Each structure stands twice: as C-alpha cells, then as structure tokens.
Amino acid sequence: EVSEMAEKSRQNVAHGLAWSYYIGYLKIVLPRLRKSLEEFGRANPSRLPRRETWKVHILVPLSCDIPDDLEKADSNIQYLTDLTETILTKGGIKNRVYKHSLYAIRDEDNEPWHCVLEFATPLQSLYAMSQDACAAFSREERLGQAKIFYRTLEEILRGSKECRGTYRLIPYQEPAEAEPHFLAREVLWHLRQQCHEEYALGDATPDANLPTSLGTTELDLQMSQEELPLPLRSDLF
C-alpha cells in the first residue's frame, strides 16, 4: 500500500535518480579525477585549474532545464578541452568512455578561471517527464523533485569516502529576468569560495564580506514532509 501511494505521488523518482547517478557515474569517475588532472597538468600547466578547485563542479538547476552547450548558455564560459578518458567495460558495453570537460570561466576583468564543469544530467529526465503527458509533472512537482534530487545526492556524496573532496554541487535557480552571464557568475562564486576556504585554513578571523548563502542567489531548498521520498517496502512500518 505504501509503495502504491509513493508510486502514485511519484515521490521516489528523484531519490532513485540521485542514487543511479551516484552508483552509475559519480562513484566511477570522481575517484579518478585527481589522477586525470595531474596527467593533464604535466602537458598543459598553463591551463591547469587552481589546486583548491580540483573538483568536478556539478551544476544543479532547480528548473531542471539543461542546455546541451554551456558556451551557448553563457558566452563567458569557454570550452577548452577534455581530460584523459576513463575506459571501462560496463553492462555489456565494451570500452565505455567516461570523460570530463575543462572550461575557462571569464570574470569581470576578463581573466579566466579554469575548472571541470558539467550539469547533473539526470535532471533532464525530470524536465522531460514534466513535458510528457504520461508523467504529467506540474512545475511545482518538478521543483519538489529537483530539491529531493539535490538533497539526496548531497547526502550520498557526503557519506562517500571514495568521492570525498572531488566534487562541488552548485544548485541554482534562474532569475526571473534573463541575465546573459548569470551562470558564469554562479560558478565564479563557488570557485572563489573554494580558494578563500583554502586560504582561510590558517586564519581564524572570518571575512565579513564573504557571502554565506549557497551561491550568489538565495535558494529555497526547504522541503515539506509531503515532498520527502517514501520507502518502497511496506514491511518497514
């Protein structure tokens, strides 16, 4: 009965997507990131990101609307190259390729900040479901699912020893009025935050000017009790 209720309200969709994303992708690629960056740095020292930002920066738009081309989404984000590929045989697929893309993010002074950047691609499924009559997600339900996805993924990664220190989640909600460089500004905030955190390790005096929110925009990531995922097994009660 509980499983049927959860299925009808679709409360386990985002929870399952987060676990699938972690097991099928992040747990595979994140532990190999530092080695890939070290190999890349030996051949391309001028393009190597600052060591404090040696992470996969994962964009989590709460709208679930993910553009395929970051450069077209924001002209201050420039694709540079791909890191060394990881090639594995998975699920019957021979020589399956996993790779990350390196980008340059231009700041206000047109100076480049290099980082590994990509979207949380499972959100594309949530967006597609909201456009499909069979799934019939409303905009409010989609937003609730996006929050569940983010919170679940955050909790999973926080407990993963293999992935510790190799990722940075960047949740954001697009402004009501279009801003051409909103996305670059969000990423830059997180890059600067990481550099500040590294610098501040030996300094007990906090910087009063440093933002304390998740990013440059204030996000409401609170979830009601109804939005929380339910267990699929009824014998847990």
- For the stretch 37-95, pLDDT in tens is 999 999 999 899 999 999 999 999 999 999 999 999 999 999 999 998 888 888 889 99
209 falls within a domain: no
Which residue bears the tokens 């340059």? 104
pTM confidence score: 0.82
Question: What is the per-residue pLDDT across 172-209, written as a single tens digit (0 to 9) for each?
Answer: 998 888 888 999 999 999 999 999 876 544 444 433 33
Domain count, the chain: 1
Return the CATH number at 63: 3.40.50.12100
Q: Decide: 227 and 11 in contact? Cβ < 8 Å.
A: yes
Contacts of 14 (CB under 8 A, 6+ apart): 126, 145, 146, 147, 148, 149, 152, 229
Domain that holds residue 125: 1-202
Q: Is the dihedral of CA 136, 230, 233, 150 positive or negative?
A: positive
52 domain-assigned: yes
Q: Is residue 228 part of a domain?
A: no
State how far the alpha carbon of 38 is from the alpha carbons of 43, 78, 90, 113, in Å.
Answer: 9, 21, 25, 17
In a domain, 208, yes or no: no
